Structure 1
Amino acid sequence: MKAFVFLNGRYLWKDHPKIEKNALIIAVDGGANYLFRLGIVPDIFVGDGDSVQKEVLDGLSKKGVSIFLYPEDKDEIDAELAIKKALEFGANEIIIHGWRGERLDMMLALISIMSKQNNVKIIAKDHELEMGVVCDELVLESKAGEKWSILPVCGNAKCVTLSGFKYEINCVDMPCEKPFGISNIAKKNRVKISVKEGKVVYFRWIIEPS
């Protein structure tokens, strides 16, 4: 089962989510405001309630949405709680929306949280950028000419292989202090990223960044 998680980040008018039938929809705090504007009722609400509008939360309660409210003083960020809840409900793939914004610290924390999950595919995306963590091997959709960056995360990555790119490598170590994977170019409609030890995070620029 896929889970679609909507965080309290930046949403543009182009960010109309394509939610598959029978997927689990999770609104995370202020992400519920965005879904409300689109007329989408989530299955679950998760958060500490500091950014969701009161009328939206009241409306979700009246519609029978499962609401999980947490105290503001906690060790986990709301995104981590949402991912845990998605896994509890049986998700084996998680798509995160609304993950970008002014809080660079929150985005770095999200990457760390995503890197903890080895048995589930987690992708953060919007209309211009997709991000994910690779801990073994992934074959990913792409378009020729797209800009990609691949970086080690949570430590050095060993024996990294990149296929389908302009700059391909075969079992090369990626140390954290040498980020040579910036600004690669996809050459095919599918690319492959693999790592034997450690993890890497990829950034797929669907729209060329300025």
Structure 2
Amino acid sequence: MKIIIFANGELAAPAAEAARWVHPLDVSVAADGGTRHALAAGLTPDQVIGDLDSLPAELRARLEAAGTTFHVHPPAKDETDLELALLWAAAQEADEIIILGALGGRPDQELANLLLLALPELAGHAVSIVAGAWQIRLIRGGEELILRGEPGDTVSLIPLGGDARGITTGGLRYPLRQGTLRCGPARGVSNVLAEKIATVTLEEGWLWCFHQINHDGRETVPS
């Protein structure tokens, strides 16, 4: 099962993004204000999750009549609406989770949304933040990520929460062999696909992978 989550950040072309990522059997989830993106894409969300402070009452009534399920949380909460949506998706044992509209807007929320990829509950799930041509994944120690793209695609590897050790890449212009990327320096930024398929394996730590996709394709799930 694949779950598509619409967050309340910026989404320049909702219909185009939905056409690229959403399929008829996918479950669509709106994190509160992300409902506007789902509707702009021509979708009625299956689930709406959050404190609903961004959702007019008349719109909620219309969606309820259309069959949308609401998961209402109090405004005074520790989690963001997107975090609640991700926790719900993880509990459904989704094979893949795609997040649209997570970036843009307030920089603090944008950074927090990127950090949500490190939620312990998401371990073992294939989770991507998608923003235009960019697909962002988190590689955890012991995982391998397979990238499918075109030579020339930009790939940046950025450690999170400390040094990332035991990195081995294949199919990238600037390879690593059991290498370490330290947290802080920008050494892993702006690598390039040298082949149509590349791999990144990580032994210890966490590693963000930013893939700028310059074709109609996307990454596969980590193994």
**Correspondent of 1:119 among 102, 119, 124:** 124
Is the helix fraction higher in 1 or 2? 2
Residue in 2 that maps onto 1:9: 9
Residue in 2 that maps onto 1:159: 166
Residue in 1 that maps onto 2:205: 198
- Matched residue count: 207
Give 1:53 deviation, angstroms: 3.5
Residue in 1 that maps onto 2:103: 100
For residues 127-158 of structure 1, the C-alpha deviation after alignment (integer angstroms, 9 at most, x for no partner) is 32111101121112221111121110122111
Q: Secondary structure at the match of 1:99?
A: coil
Tell me which amino acid in the other structure corresponds to 1:100: L
Q: Secondary structure at the match of 1:187?
A: coil
State whether structure 2 residue 179 is matched by structure 1 residue 178.
no
Residue in 1 that maps onto 2:37: 34
Structure 1, unpaired ranges of 5+: none
The two structures, once aligned, show a CA RMSD in angstroms of 1.6
**Correspondent of 2:176 among 154, 169, 185:** 169
Tell me which amino acid in the other structure corresponds to 1:82: A
> In 2, distance between residues paired with 1:187 and 1:80?
35
Q: Secondary structure at the match of 1:16?
A: helix
Q: Secondary structure at the match of 2:162?
A: coil
Between stretches 180-189 and 104-113, larger displacement belongs to 104-113
Tell me which amino acid in the other structure corresponds to 2:125: V
Residue in 1 that maps onto 2:217: none
> In 1, distance between residues paired with 2:51 and 2:161?
27
Cα pair 1:79 1:110 within 8 Å, conserved? yes
For residues 15-74 of structure 1, the C-alpha deviation after alignment (integer angstroms, 9 at most, x for no partner) is 431312321110111111122233311111011112234332221111121101112221
> In 1, distance between residues paired with 2:134 and 2:58?
31
Give 1:180 deviation, angstroms: 0.5
Residue in 1 that maps onto 2:135: 130
Structure 2, unpaired ranges of 5+: 215-223
Q: Secondary structure at the match of 2:17?
A: coil
Moved over 6 A (4+): none
Per the normalisation by structure 1, the TM-score is 0.92
Cα pair 1:32 1:56 within 8 Å, conserved? no
Q: Secondary structure at the match of 1:30?
A: helix
Q: Secondary structure at the match of 1:198?
A: strand
Per the normalisation by structure 2, the TM-score is 0.87
